[in-house]
Amino acid sequence: MDQNMSANTGTVRLGAAIRNQFPSLAREQDGRPVVYLDGPGGSQVPRSVIAAISRYYETSNANTHGSFSTSTETDAVIAGAREAMRDFLHAESEATLSFGANMTTLNFALAHALARQIRPGDEVVVTELDHDGNVAPWLMLAERGAVVRWAPLSPNQLELDMDRFLDLIGPKTRIVAMGLASNAIGTITDPAPVRAKTREVGAILVLDAVHYAPHRPVAVQRLKPDFLLCSAYKFFGPHVGILYGAPGALARLATDRVRPQDPVGPTRIETGTLNHAALAGVTAAVDAIAGWAPDGASRADRLTAAMEAVDRYEAALFRTLWEGLAAVNGAVLYGRVPGTGPRTPTLGFTLHGQDSEAVAAELGRRGIFAWSGDFYAVGVVDRLGLRGQGGLVRLGLAPYNTEEEMARTVDAVREIARGA
C-alpha cells in the first residue's frame, strides 16, 4: 500500500500524508519514532486542535452570556462546537448536542434523570460486550427497583447473541443500552433490530458510539437512537463528552439542574461551566477530519467522505497487522477475523504463558504504545477467562498509522513471544 495515499481512499489524505498534522507523532524513543497503537484509549491530536485551545485562552477566555466581547466570543465557541458535532453525527440540529466532562459523566447524568421515571419491576437491558461507561449507569437503576437484564455474548464470545438480546426486550423494558463497537475487540453491532424492538415496546435506546465514532461515519438520523454518546478525545479532539438526544428526548427528562439554568434545549443536562477551551478544540478536531477530504462539499459531506476513507484505510492496515500476528507462534487473537463481519481496527491478543501487562510493557520498551487489561470492557475479559492473565493486550489503529508501523509491531510481538 502506498503510505501517502492508501488504497481506495480516493482523494482523501490519510496515513503518512497527515502525520505532520500531529506533532506528538514526532516523539522518539531510543532514536526511533514511537508507534501509537493506543488510539482506543485516546487518539493523538492535530496541531490545529492544540492551537484552537491555546487561542481561546489567549483571546476569548470568559464565562458565558456577558455583554462584552470575550463573553460573546465564548458563546460563539460553544455554538460552534454544537454545529461541528451536528455535522459530525449528521444530527437534525445543533440543539440536539450537549457537552460534558466525558461520556461516562454524561451517561450517569442521563441515567440519573431517567431514574426518576423508573418504577419497581421496570426492566433495563445492558450487554456483556459494552464498556462499563454504558453499563454501570444503568445498573444504578436497580436502586429504584429496576430489574437488570444482560444481553449475553454468543458462544464464540466475540459478538452479542442477537436472538437472545431481542428476546430480553419486552413490555416491561424501559431502557436498552448498547454499544456500536467494542473497545476491547472491535466487534461492531448493528443496532437496527434492537431499535425496531425498542420502538415496538416503547423503550428508550441509548447507544455508546465512543469506540465507533473514530472509525466510521455516524449518522444519528439513520440510527435513530433516543440518545447516543461519544467522546472527542477518541477522534483527535480534547477530553470532552458529547450527548446526542433525539429532538424532544431531553425535554421529557427531569435532569439535575441549578435553578437559573436554561431548561430548554441541550443545556438542560449541562451542569455548571463547560470546558470552553476544549470545545474550541472539538470544533477544530471536526474541521481537521473534514479537511482530509477535498474541498467543495459541505462539512457534513466531507466528514462522511473522510470517515468512509478512514474505515477503508484502517481496514487494509489492520488486515496486514492481523495476518502478521496470526502467524506468530503462541499468539491468540481475539475479535472477528477481518472480512468475516463488521469490526473496527482494534484487536485483543494474548501470548501463550505470558501476562498481558508484561507483554504491553515489553512493547512499550520497544516504543510501541499499547494497552493491556480489560479497558473497562469487563464482561468480555471475564467471559474470555483472561482475568488471571492480565486480560488482553489491545492494539488499535488510527488513520495516522502506517504499514511500516504494522511491520515493526509484528516483529516486536514475534520477539516477545520468543522471549527475546
Ligand X SMILES: Cc1ncc(COP(=O)(O)O)c(C=O)c1O
Interface ranges with ligand X (CB under 6 A): 40, 102-104, 131, 133-134, 179, 183, 208, 210-211, 231, 241
Nearest to ligand X of 90, 131 (CB atom) = 131
* CA R_g for the chain: 21
Nearest to ligand X of 34, 207 (CB atom) = 207
What's the distance, CA 289 to chain centroid? 15
Q: How near is the Cβ of 32 to ligand X at its closest, in Å?
A: 27
The contacts of residue 242 (CB under 8 Å, 6+ apart) are: 85, 89, 97, 98, 99, 100, 103, 106, 229, 230, 231, 232, 282
Nearest to ligand X of 210, 413 (CB atom) = 210
Three-state SS annotation for 74-120: HHHHHHHHHHHHHHHHCCCCHHHEEEECCHHHHHHHHHHHHHCCCCC
Helix (H) and strand (E) counts for the chain?
12, 15
Q: How near is the Cβ of 66 to ligand X at its closest, in Å?
A: 30
Measure the CA–CA gap between 243 and 106, rounded to whole angstroms.
7
Of the candidates 291, 284, 294, 308, which has an alpha carbon nearest to the alpha carbon of residue 233? 284
Q: Pairing between strand 123-127 and 173-179?
A: parallel
Of the candidates 96, 62, 92, 69, which has an alpha carbon nearest to the alpha carbon of residue 82? 96
Nearest to ligand X of 6, 104 (CB atom) = 104
Nearest to ligand X of 13, 216 (CB atom) = 216
Which three three-digit cell numbers place residue 353?
Answer: 504463558
Which three three-digit cell numbers place residue 51?
Answer: 492551537
Q: How near is the Cβ of 248 to ligand X at its closest, in Å?
A: 25
For residue 123, the SS3 value is strand
Nearest to ligand X of 6, 401 (CB atom) = 401
Q: What's the CA angle centered on 414, arms 412 and 417, to 5 degrees?
A: 110
Burial class for 24, CB neighbours closer than 10 Å (0-12, 13-18, 19+): middle
Measure the CA–CA gap between 110 and 129, rounded to whole angstroms.
21
Measure the CA–CA gap between 225 and 212, rounded to whole angstroms.
15
Alpha helices in 243-345 (DSSP H): 276-292, 299-326
Q: How near is the Cβ of 130 to ligand X at its closest, in Å?
A: 7
* Helix (H), strand (E) at residue 395: strand 392-396
Q: How near is the Cβ of 260 to ligand X at its closest, in Å?
A: 27
For residue 6, the SS3 value is coil
Nearest to ligand X of 302, 394 (CB atom) = 394
Nearest to ligand X of 60, 231 (CB atom) = 231
Q: How near is the Cβ of 171 to ligand X at its closest, in Å?
A: 29
Q: How near is the Cβ of 220 to ligand X at its closest, in Å?
A: 17
Q: How near is the Cβ of 386 to ligand X at its closest, in Å?
A: 18
Which three three-digit cell numbers place residue 325?
Answer: 500476528
Nearest to ligand X of 179, 399 (CB atom) = 179
Which single residue is written with the C-alpha cell 520468543? Answer: 418
Q: How near is the Cβ of 210 to ligand X at its closest, in Å?
A: 4
Q: How near is the Cβ of 208 to ligand X at its closest, in Å?
A: 5
Nearest to ligand X of 204, 351 (CB atom) = 204
